[in-house]
Amino acid sequence: MKEIGLVDGHAYTLIQVYEFDDVRLCKIRNPWGSFEWKGDWSDKSDLWTDQLRDAVGFTDEDDGIFFISWEDVAKYFSRFSINRYRDNSNFVSTMFRQKPEGFSFAKMNISKRGTHTFSISQRGERMFDRDEDYKYSCARLIVAKLNDGQGLDGGVTYIQGGIGCMVRDTHVDVDLEKGVYGVFAEVDWEENCYKGRNYCITRYGPGEDGVEDCTGEYAKTDVLFECLRSAAEQGIGKITEKTLESDGAPGIQVMTINDQAHFFAHYVINEEASAKYKCETKFSECTGVTMLEPYAGTTEFDLMVEPGSEGMAIMKKSIRQFGYSKSTNEQAVFGKKALIKKAMEEGDKKERCPGIHQYYLKHSGGLFFVYTNESDKTLVETLTFNITGLTIVGHDSNVVEVRCAPGEMKDVELKKDGGGWTFGLSTSIMLE
């Protein structure tokens, strides 16, 4: 390369471009201030005419500035980086060191409204010898406003997420009002990455506010829970939602979240008074997916959400390539008191004799029978079940005898084992 006046692996400045009929020229500067291109359209080239020299302001000096055809630029230069400049903006940064599968969390006080650029900036490849085979790693970041101006306790407002696939800088541009903001950053380090494993989180925008490292104050899943919950509330990313109304639990809301930073979450809000939410999900044929705590190292999660609470299972998707299939078994789980109430209010009612009734309820977790006796006789009913995928609670055989004396209430519960189930029943009834 030096024979033609170029430095291999060196950065140049593109000053200006020109086009004259079929001639396209680039004006380029070597930051050394010397050592220039020697090919076509160089200082000593015989392609120049007086008209073209005047049009581009040509001078024959060893100042590092030279002209080169666009065709030769495309031949000898491998990449371009565009520098962004905005009036009244400042650049601030802080270096972070991140372990594999770790993360960083930065806090910034934005004192001036305007457009701000946040980025994860990895160490440049020009800082390594070519035989080290250094590669940039994939990265993801999320910008969120800290609602209480302090931390996560007051919740966050998801602003924007972004990803970068094996590039030095991963960035997002956002228009922000004054306030305190957090930046979640994670780099999926390549195996041959240098041992330092550090990068800078940067901000370019109005004001001189710095970048504060708050990584040690929070767990990774706590930060992501708040961010992804806010994304779901605002409809940022790809969101699907449903309720378990068909299971008799309309207060259970289930959402799947695919956000802009390639996180996937199964998010549940349970506003039921007595029903729990239970979900068993297994992933298969997984490529490029990672479960986060408390399910790290597995390809499945079991999520139980109590009444009046929320729950979330989070998975990270590879930026380069991912794929999976999954099977999910979810249901509303009612306690015995709630099942008795639902059976008597919503179930099928059958009279065995005046004053003696059976209530039968089919729900998401299985089957439930309730017997009430307001007569002066005792009911003896034998239930013979033909079932698959169901377990009779408290009984080892498929034959159950129900003895319900005057003033008593009795119940029989069949719980779903998981997946599909079938049910058949024959009965014999006797009164004493």
The residues pairing with 292 across neighbouring beta strands, listed in sequence order, are: none
Give the model confidence (pLDDT) of 39-87 as tens digits. Answer: 999 999 999 999 999 999 999 999 999 999 999 999 999 888 888 888 8
Q: What is the DSSP annotation of 286-348?
A: EESEEEPTTSTT-SEEEEEE-TTEEEEEEEEEPSS--EEEEEEEEEEE--HHHHHHHHHHHSE
Instruction: Answer whether residue 197 shows pLDDT above 80.
Output: yes
Rounded Cα distance, 218 and 235, in Å: 25
Alpha-carbon distances, residue 221 vs 28, 176, 207, 226, 235 (angstroms): 48, 25, 31, 9, 20
Please name the residues in contact with 228: beta carbons below 8 A apart, sequence gap of 6 or more.
158, 257, 259, 263, 265, 267, 312, 314
**Rounded to an integer, what distance in angstroms lies between the CA atom of residue 420 and that of residue 224?**
34
**The pLDDT value given to residue 212:** 92
In this predicted structure, the answer to whether residue 199 has a pLDDT above a threshold of 90 is yes
Instruction: Write out the residue limits of the CATH 2.60.40 domain(s) in the chain.
Output: 238-333, 336-431
User: Which pLDDT does position 210 carry in this prediction?
Assistant: 87
CA distance 1 to 189: 32
For the chain, helix (H) and strand (E) counts, in that order, are 4, 28
- Which pLDDT score, from 0 to 100, does residue 209 have? 86
CB 370 within 8 A of CB 340: yes
**For the domain with range 90-218, which CATH number is right: 2.60.120.380, 3.30.429.10, 3.10.20.740, 3.30.70.100?**
2.60.120.380
Burial class (CB in 10 A: 0-12, 13-18, 19+), 46: exposed
Residues 6+ apart with CB under 8 A from 344: 359, 370, 372
- Quote the pLDDT of residue 214: 95
Q: Provide, rounded to the nearest whole percent, the portion of the chain with pLDDT above 90.
A: 80
pTM: 0.79
The pLDDT of residue 270: 97
Look at residues 368, 366, 364 and name the one whose alpha carbon lies nearest to residue 347. 368
The C-alpha atoms of residue 41 and residue 54 are separated, in whole angstroms, by 14
Confidence check: pLDDT of 290 > 80: yes
- At residue 126 the predicted structure's pLDDT band, cuts being 50, 70 and 90, is confident
Q: How much helix, strand and coil, in percent to the nearest 5, is found in the chain?
A: 15, 50, 40
Cα distance between residue 158 and residue 398, in whole Å? 53
Mean pLDDT (whole number) for 277-282: 94
Would you give the DSSP letter of residue 218? S
pLDDT higher for 26 or 128? 26
Residues sharing a CB contact under 8 Å with residue 319, sequence separation 6 or more, in sequence order: 138, 139, 140, 163, 164, 165, 188, 262
- Measure the CA–CA gap between 294 and 281, rounded to whole angstroms: 14
pLDDT of 183 > 80? The answer is: yes
> Is the predicted pLDDT of residue 285 greater than 90, yes or no?
no
CATH 3.90.70.10 positions along the chain are: 2-76
Q: Which tens digits make up the pLDDT trace of 255-279?
A: 999 999 999 999 999 999 889 999 9
CA atoms within 13 A on the CB side of 327: 6
Task: Find tokens 């899943």 and name the residue.
Answer: 221
Mean pLDDT score, 16-35: 94
The set of residues, in sequence order, having a beta carbon less than 8 Å from that of 86 and lying 6+ positions away, is 115, 204, 205
Confidence of residue 132 (pLDDT cuts 50, 70, 90): confident
Higher pLDDT, 47 or 247: 47
| pLDDT band at residue 419 under the 50/70/90 scheme | confident
The rounded distance, in Å, linking the Cα atoms of 174 and 165 is: 20
pLDDT over 80 at 418, yes or no: no
Strand order in the sheet with 356-363: 348-353, 356-363, 366-373, 409-416, 390-392
Q: What is the mean pLDDT of residues 231-257?
A: 94
The SS3 of residue 232 is helix
Given CATH 3.90.70.10, say whether it is the number of domain 2-76: yes
The mean per-residue pLDDT over the stretch 28-43 comes to 95
Q: Where in the chain is the domain with CATH 2.60.120.380?
A: 90-218
DSSP per-residue string spanning 154-199: T-EEEEEEEEESS-SEEEEEEEE-SEEEEEEEEEE--TT--TT-EE
pLDDT at 224: 98
Q: Percent of the chain beyond pLDDT 70?
A: 100
Residues near 50 by Cβ (< 8 Å), separated by ≥ 6?
none
Taking all residues of the chain, what is their mean pLDDT, rounded to a whole number? 93
What is the pLDDT, as a whole number, of residue 286?
85
Q: What is the CATH number of domain 336-431?
A: 2.60.40
Class of domain 238-333: mainly beta
